[in-house]
Chain A
Amino acid sequence: MTLMTKFLGAAAAAALGTGAALAEPALIFDLGGKFDKSFNEAAFTGAQRWAEETGETFREIELQSEAQREQALRRFAEAGSNPIITMGFGMADPLTSVAPDYPDTKFVVIDVTWIEGENISQIGFAEHEGSYLVGMMAAMASKTGTVGFVGGMDVPLIRHFGCGYAQGVKAVNPDAKVIANMTGTTPAAWNDPVKGSELTKAQISQGADVVYAAAGGTGVGVLQTAADENILSIGVDSNQNYMHPGKVLTSMLKRVDVAVFDAMKAGADVKTGGVITLGLAEDGVGYALDEHNAALVNDEMKAAIDAAREKIISGELEVASYYTNDSCPVLDF
């Protein structure tokens, strides 16, 4: 009995101890999963870098279903985590209902820019600008004049990617054809490489010789098939050039890692109540150039893209956003 009491006491003390020590930041991954080689993995990389540099720890959870979103938010908030960093557009609604209940907790949400809340920091990316640049590269690398786009789940964000891409393609070659397909309408579309492969094959049979995948884990199948069929692919979010050296033209980088790193570094003092959009100017988006794709990107290509990049930053060139009218001027989904 005394032993039991001791154990209970020790357990209680440990529980209290962790409760007090927890000003730890928390990171909630989206349904694609922490290691999707893409969006969520970039967040993990950023958090990991913060942990290594500061020697501190963070808490994390990988969501498995929609129902867990609010649950996870509340659990971390109750446990005292601060700030709580969440990933993905799906967090918008749960956040609007949870955040007001925990006014002292700071929430950071990535890929959401349209909700309100004094204790919420919203970080958006100008994906269309980065996609525009890789679209230009696709058009320059294409020999058939037909390029493809494979999206994951059919949501405005992914159409936003596709729209910027199509504009970049048309900027280089107005006659180019852009074939756009979405993998599905449920979160399963983020992890269906088999379907990604079939979509890629279907696009190849329509003449596509460069395919851009903005599809999380599904993109693994797109890149694989592109490499098998000897055409070029474009990765997304993280640098995916290494996955099939010499076969991946480039990757559209979305520096989620930087955003997460900065948020964790700011800790409980993270600035909330506003919307931050990271574009080309802030290096929030860009394209990847490394030893794996050096042979594919010639100087002419690089010069054209860097020129376009400067123009977009200076405001001389404006890439139309899908969000503005919920439609794309050059691509019909």
Chain B
Amino acid sequence: MDIYLTLIQLLDSTVRLATPLLLACLAGLYSERAGIFDIGLEGKMLAAAFFSAAIAAMTGSVWIGLLAGIAASLVLSAIHGIASITFRGNQLISGVAINFLAAGMTVLIAQAWFRQGGRTPSLIGKARFEPITLPFAEAVQDVPFIGPLYYELISGHSILVYVAFAAVPLTWWVLFRTRFGLRLRAVGENPAAVDTAGVSVVGLRFAAVAICGVLCGIAGAYLSTALQAGFVKDMAAGRGFIALAALIFAKWRPWHALYATLLFGLFGALETRPDVIEAVSGIKVQGQLLAALPYLMTVIILAGFVGKAIPPRAGGEPYVKER
């Protein structure tokens, strides 16, 4: 076994597994930084996964599919926004409702449209995001060390992976270097102050929820049109919740969100290679333990053992202008 190549393959798998988590985590970051808790990430991803696969299957174009996925996710975001911002409902309940709605509706609509039992037809050709080969990847393929690194790990992913990674510095810049970002963070900490300054709290929160919808839409489309070739019921398989755990783990910071999701992705990748762990550590580690690790670590963080995770202060509370 070539150790270096195995490592590259592991990291390659890490990137694939981390990408949907990263997108969903950043989505949650925008929303929660603005004071809107969102446990409906899972549902939005699922809805986006279905609609992007369904529309891509019908039109034969994955780009139209992606737009449809984002649109579906935005609709759910709007529901969440109206329920929890406009009508000041409980954000957690609204999120749970979105998860249930997405889980049921996707299968129901898929069955009505395609009659394949809640699945979409398999996507072929242009209806699917193909891996893209970066410039010079083929040329440097045989160069020792950096060749495999560039060809296998950095090149050869679908475009959405690069979008996800680019979203990290962009998010950092938006949140910490722009006026919009400052206000968005302020609205999650002290909305009354933002209101006093004459800035619309409702508008900012809706903007944050909408950005969340777009990112969840991309995450869902990545699942069904890049990683897979079609939608299968419940295919998000809890990734929205893992993303939430990663968000807490990252303490609501963009770069840390990247590290956290990569770490969670690495655990996922290691879970598929028990032989590697056995070779490295000499002991047979149960896959279940690795699967549980991200959650264990989140609990440790939440318990305050490794620094304290303090959520945005106004998170979860609807803003009431006058009392």
Contact = CB atoms under 8 A, between A and B. Distances in A.
Interface stretch (A178-186, A263-271, A285-293): A178-186
Contacts of B16: 198
B189 interface: no
Given A181-B272, A221-B228, A194 B237 contact: yes
Interface stretch (B22-30, B114-122, B244-252, B293-301): B114-122
Contacts of A221: 228, 232
Nearest to A223: B122
A188 B238 contact: yes
A47 to B, nearest CB: 14
B25 to A, nearest CB: 16
Nearest to B239: A194
B6 to A, nearest CB: 7
Contacts of A191: 232-235, 237
A221 B235 CA distance: 10
A193 B228 contact: yes
Contacts of A193: 228, 232, 235
A220 B273 contact: no
Interface stretch (A107-115, A199-207, A297-305): A199-207
A37 B13 CA distance: 27
A197 B232 contact: no
Contacts of A233: none
Q: Which of A154, A188, A193 has the most CB of B within 10 A?
A: A193
Interface in B231-280: 232-235, 237-238, 268-269, 272-275
B235 A192 contact: yes
Contact of A181 (B116, B230, B274): B274
A4 B230 CA distance: 49
Contact of B233 (A33, A41, A179, A195): A33
A198 B13 contact: yes
Contacts of A241: none
Contacts of B117: 33-37, 41
A325 B132 CA distance: 49
Nearest to A191: B234
A206 B275 CA distance: 9
Contacts of B273: 202, 206
A244 B33 CA distance: 45
A224 interface: yes
B151 to A, nearest CB: 15
A199 B274 CA distance: 11
B35 to A, nearest CB: 30
Contacts of B287: 181-182
Contacts of B109: none
A253 B109 CA distance: 29
Contact of A198 (B17, B118, B233, B274): B17
A109 B223 CA distance: 35
Interface residues of A, number: 31
B122 A224 contact: yes
A191 B103 CA distance: 12
Contacts of B268: 195, 198
A188 B17 CA distance: 16
B229 interface: yes
A195 B9 CA distance: 15
A243 interface: yes
Contact of B227 (A33, A41, A197, A220): A197
Contacts of A206: 273, 275
A224 B288 contact: no
B291 interface: yes
Nearest to A182: B287
Given A198-B269, A220-B232, A35 B116 contact: yes
Contacts of B274: 181
A195 B238 CA distance: 12
B235 A194 contact: yes
A185 to B, nearest CB: 5
A185 B291 contact: yes
A205 to B, nearest CB: 5
Interface in A204-247: 205-206, 217, 220-221, 224, 228, 243
B9 A205 contact: yes
A305 B281 CA distance: 40
Contacts of B269: 198, 202
A217 B232 CA distance: 7
Contacts of A205: 6, 9
B238 A224 contact: no
A37 B232 CA distance: 11
Contacts of A34: 117
B23 to A, nearest CB: 14
A106 B248 CA distance: 51
A185 B287 CA distance: 9
A184 B118 contact: no
A29 B9 CA distance: 38
B237 A192 contact: yes
Interface string A250-261: 000000000000
Contacts of A224: 122, 228-230
A35 B272 contact: no
Contacts of A182: 287
Contact of B122 (A194, A195, A243): A243
Given A35-B117, A185-B291, A191-B237, 5 more contacts: A33-B117, A36-B117, A154-B288, A194-B223, A220-B119
Q: Which 7 A-B pairs have the closest CB atoms?
A: A35-B117, A202-B272, A192-B237, A191-B234, A205-B9, A217-B232, A199-B272
Interface of A: 33-37, 41, 154, 179, 181-182, 184-185, 188, 191-195, 197-199, 201-202, 205-206, 217, 220-221, 224, 228, 243
24 contacts: A34-B117, A35-B116, A35-B118, A37-B117, A41-B117, A181-B272, A188-B234, A191-B233, A192-B235, A193-B228, A194-B237, A198-B269, A198-B272, A201-B272, A202-B269, A202-B273, A205-B6, A206-B273, A206-B275, A220-B232, A224-B228, A224-B229, A224-B230, A243-B122
